[in-house]
Amino acid sequence: MLTGLCLTSCSEDTSTYAVGDDWINSNTKVIFLDTLSVTSSSFQFDSIPVSATNRLLIGAYRDVEFGLVKSKVFTQLSNLVYSLDSEATYDSIAVILKYDGYVYNDTLQQQQFRVYEVLEEIKPEEDYYYNTTSFKSADNDIGTKTFTPHPVQEDSLHIRLNDGFGQELFNQIQKKKISNSNEFLQEYRGLLIEADDSNTAILGFSSESLVRIYYTIGDETDDIKETLDLGFSITNSFHNITSNFSNTWFEAIENQMTYLPSTTTGNQTYIQAGAGIATRIDLPHLESLNNINGTGTIMEANLKVSLKKSLSKKVLTTRDSLQFYIINQRSEIISELFNYDGITPMGFITQKEDEFNIITYTVPLKYYLDTKAADYDGDNWFLVMYSQDFNSSLDRYIFYGEENSNAYKMKLELTYALYDE
């Protein structure tokens, strides 16, 4: 009996009570801070890699804030089969650009594209094509097209090329002077398709675009229409994006270490994908948290960035999320921004005030701040805020800087717990 008692006499605590909670002397104090300094600026990456993007951008438009931006495409053509029936006769040749649905700015105006022969071998510099990579092309075009784009109603854009160019290519294949890719690329390095400066839109095309030769095979009874396609090379096609920043804030840019503080650019910061313009965010003086009495820890940290929509016309669409990277003081990307769960956090829209045309993005920065504080070089870490599809779109964003007086200024919101006062 005694041993039984010994064994069963362990303590049991079943219920919990609220009685006495006035007395609880919690060791913790939780504070919310949104006054920590944030310093933002705009800068331009010297170059961004554009290899093997699914989308090829062609077009140009003049933007009040960003100046003239142009995108042209260099493409190598290729095919597996180079043979034509000896009875075939050449009809015509065209570039067929397949719309992928992406448009930016005004597509109601007339646009003009021109096609040139490339005179150099199209090959990457150090394994990558950059938005700045360029190759020499012929002075005279082999085709132009003036058109009003209908990227929704139509699935492709046909640019008829010079028949002299087409006949020559046709003959070489038919007479077996070109019977494989190597022989073809010796003669035909590739094409450059560019837009006129007066264009008003950027159009996105699929990398499945091609050049098509139309020909006829005469038969005793009927003529048979045939085609030979030369596809755009997926690996050796890319867009080159250039800007003319005259009379914009960006005129001052010399290289990617030229930072334009938001306070000197109208309390705004900028993003223009494709062109490499991004917003850099510095969160200095986080050590000031240590000046709060007691030992504490960051429970939650969120950066809030509001889009200045009054400056973003409807045709200049924005997305529902933003991308973030960590860069060093030379604007070199150190890594993607990570979260504790290993997922790359994006800045998602958390607030939308249609009445005031305000969109606010929030990005969680707890992991960034923890690792920045722990890294020996963390003082030289900065966040870069960038658009989605940064190498295959020309989306632009204008944000409220940190010095705005309204509620939409860029700010860091911290929930900080002090546990040892």
Partner 1 sequence: MNKYLIIFLFCLFAVNRSFSQSNSLSSSPYSLYGLGLSNELNTGKTNALGRTGIAIPSTTDINNLNPASYGSIPLNRFFYDIGLQYEINEMEDKGGAESKTNGNFSNLAFALPLNKKSGIGLSLVPYTNIGYSISQFESTIEGSADTYYTSINGSGGLSDLKLNYGYSLMDNLRLGVSASVLFGKVTENETNIINNNVLQLREDNHYSGFRLGLGMQYDLSENLSIGSIITLPTTLDGEQYQDIFQYYNGTLTKSSREENNISSFSLPSEIGFGFNAKLWKELSISADYRREFWSGTNQTDGIGTYIDNNFLGLGVEFNPGGNPLNYANHIQYRAGFNYDSGNLSVSGNPVNSNTLSLGIGLPVKTGTNSMFNLMYSYGTKGQVSDGLIKEKYHLLSLNISLEDIWFVKSKFD
CA 287 to chain centre: 33
Inter-residue contact 98 to 159 (CB < 8 Å)? no
Minimum CB distance to partner 1, residue 38 (Å) = 17
Minimum CB distance to partner 1, residue 409 (Å) = 17
Taking CB under 8 A as the criterion, the residue among 46, 163, 208, 370 binding partner 1 is: 370
Using the rule CB under 8 A, give the single segment among 67-75, 116-124, 212-220, 362-370 that binds partner 1. Answer: 362-370
Enumerate residues 31-50 that contact partner 1 by CB under 8 A.
31-34
Taking CB under 8 A as the criterion, the residue among 37, 164, 419, 421 binding partner 1 is: 419
Kindly tell me which of 168 and 370 has the beta carbon lying closer to partner 1: 370
Using the rule CB under 8 A, give the single segment among 74-82, 250-258, 399-407, 413-421 that binds partner 1. Answer: 413-421
Kindly tell me which of 94 and 412 has the beta carbon lying closer to partner 1: 412
Minimum CB distance to partner 1, residue 363 (Å) = 14
| Distance from C-alpha of 63 to C-alpha of 324, rounded to nearest angstrom | 24
Per-residue mark of binding to partner 1, 317-346 (x: CB under 8 A): -----------------------xx-----
Minimum CB distance to partner 1, residue 37 (Å) = 16
Inter-residue contact 222 to 148 (CB < 8 Å)? no
Taking CB under 8 A as the criterion, the residue among 61, 172, 366, 390 binding partner 1 is: 366
Kindly tell me which of 10 and 64 has the beta carbon lying closer to partner 1: 10
Minimum CB distance to partner 1, residue 319 (Å) = 24
CB neighbours (10 Å) of residue 64? Answer: 9
Taking CB under 8 A as the criterion, the residue among 2, 127, 291, 314 binding partner 1 is: 2
SS3 29: strand
Inter-residue contact 100 to 202 (CB < 8 Å)? no
Taking CB under 8 A as the criterion, the residue among 299, 320, 333, 357 binding partner 1 is: 299
Alpha-carbon dihedral angle through residues 152, 158, 159, 160, given to the nearest 10 degrees? -160
Kindly tell me which of 25 and 247 has the beta carbon lying closer to partner 1: 25
The residue length of the chain stands at: 421
Report the amino acid identity of residue 59.
G
Minimum CB distance to partner 1, residue 304 (Å) = 14
Report the amino acid identity of residue 387.
S
Taking CB under 8 A as the criterion, the residue among 106, 163, 226, 300 binding partner 1 is: 300
Kindly tell me which of 1 and 64 has the beta carbon lying closer to partner 1: 1
Own/partner contacts of 216-224, CB < 8 Å, gap of 24 or more, are 216/88, 216/89, 216/91, 217/85, 217/87, 217/88, 217/89, 218/87, 218/89
Inter-residue contact 405 to 62 (CB < 8 Å)? no
Q: What is the 3-state secondary structure (H, E, C) of 200-266?
A: CEEEEEECCCEEEEEEEEECCCCEEEEEEEEEEEEEEEEEEEEEECCCCHHHHCCCCCCCEEHHHCC
| Distance from C-alpha of 259 to C-alpha of 280, rounded to nearest angstrom | 8
State yes or no: residue 4 binds partner 1 (CB under 8 A): no
Write the DSSP symbol of residue 315: T
Inter-residue contact 349 to 307 (CB < 8 Å)? no
Residues that bind partner 1 (CB under 8 A): 2-3, 5-7, 9-34, 297, 299-300, 340-341, 366-367, 370, 415, 417, 419-420
